[in-house]
Amino acid sequence: MPKLLVRVPSPLLADGELTHRDRVAADAGLALSQWRDYVAVYRDRGWQIIDVEAAPTQPDGVFIEDALVVFDDLVVIGRPGAESRRGEIDTARAAARTLGLPIHEIEAPGTLDGGDILKVGRTVYVGASSRTNDDGFAQLETLLTPRGWKLVAVPVTRVLHLKSAVTALPDGTVIGYEPLVDDPSVFPRFLPVPEEQGTAVVVLDPSTVLMSAGAPQTAALLRSRGLTVVQTPVTEFEKLEGCVTCLSVRVRR
């Protein structure tokens, strides 16, 4: 049974970090409702939901994907590029231990946010962003290369994280909104999408993806490719540079 790690949004969500967006007030009550609907998508499809300990004083804590990434049978605990988010790590580490998998942590001076990690087959695209530095990349490469992964650094200057700009479909095609992508040629197969909110998809199964309700044109494009598309509203998280990928950690073992 696949597992989903999630953390309930903080009532301080509206105070979260912003890098590339102007601040628009997020509604904490609406965010909680949207988060519950998001989790229900997975629960209704048989995923086991694992609740990470709440972090009410951490505005960005709901974006749990940034704290840890799973590679096969290994959990990598990141080191947030934003100092304000480093208080999220202790509870994320405790949740990771419940998975019963080996754990490795990125150490200073390295920084690495999970939102900068895109796995396509055995290739790991790593965003060289304001949140993930060269040392974090080097530590991850040293760790993963012996395990059969190939790492590729990707420039990220127009958005917060790599997966704010691109994600991948079940067949490995990378999708993204071109004005936000520094260099689409990095990816062997790249499909432009017509909306900024359409850049992020989560693969639920080999024929189904989850994405924002705010991208109807992109949803239609993906359906034309034979995919089943599930949409859910995430407006309050999008205001904080979040998306459907960063609200959870998916463990497919």
Could you tell me the pLDDT band of residue 253, with boundaries at 50, 70 and 90?
confident
Does the annotation list 131 as a binding residue?
Answer: yes
Average pLDDT, the chain: 97
Could you tell me the pLDDT band of residue 21, with boundaries at 50, 70 and 90?
confident
Does the annotation list 241 as a binding residue?
Answer: no
Q: State residue 17's pLDDT score.
A: 86
- Whole-number Å distance between alpha carbons of 187 and 60: 29
**Whether pLDDT at 18 is above 90:** no
- The contacts of residue 119 (CB under 8 Å, 6+ apart) are 71, 125, 168
| Mean predicted confidence (pLDDT) in 160-178 | 97
Does the annotation list 85 as a binding residue?
Answer: yes
| Mean predicted confidence (pLDDT) in 166-190 | 98
3-state helix, strand, coil in the chain (%, to 5): 30, 25, 45
What's the number of CA atoms in the CB half-sphere (13 Å) around residue 192?
A: 9
Domains of the chain (ranges, CATH numbers): 3-251 (3.75.10.10)
Could you tell me the pLDDT band of residue 212, with boundaries at 50, 70 and 90?
very high
Does the annotation list 65 as a binding residue?
Answer: yes
**Whether pLDDT at 24 is above 90:** no
pLDDT digits over 42-51, tens only? Answer: 999 999 999 9
pLDDT digits over 129-152, tens only? Answer: 999 999 999 999 999 999 999 999
Does the annotation list 135 as a binding residue?
Answer: no
Predicted model pTM: 0.96
Q: State residue 23's pLDDT score.
A: 82
Could you tell me the pLDDT band of residue 98, with boundaries at 50, 70 and 90?
very high
- 30-35 long-range contacts, CB within 8 A, separation 24+: 30/235, 30/236, 31/62, 31/236, 31/237, 32/8, 34/232, 34/233, 34/234, 34/235, 34/236, 34/237, 35/6, 35/8, 35/9, 35/62, 35/237, 35/247
Does the annotation list 240 as a binding residue?
Answer: yes
Does the annotation list 60 as a binding residue?
Answer: yes
Q: Please list the active-site residues.
A: 161, 246
**65 within 8 A of 246, measured Cβ to Cβ:** yes
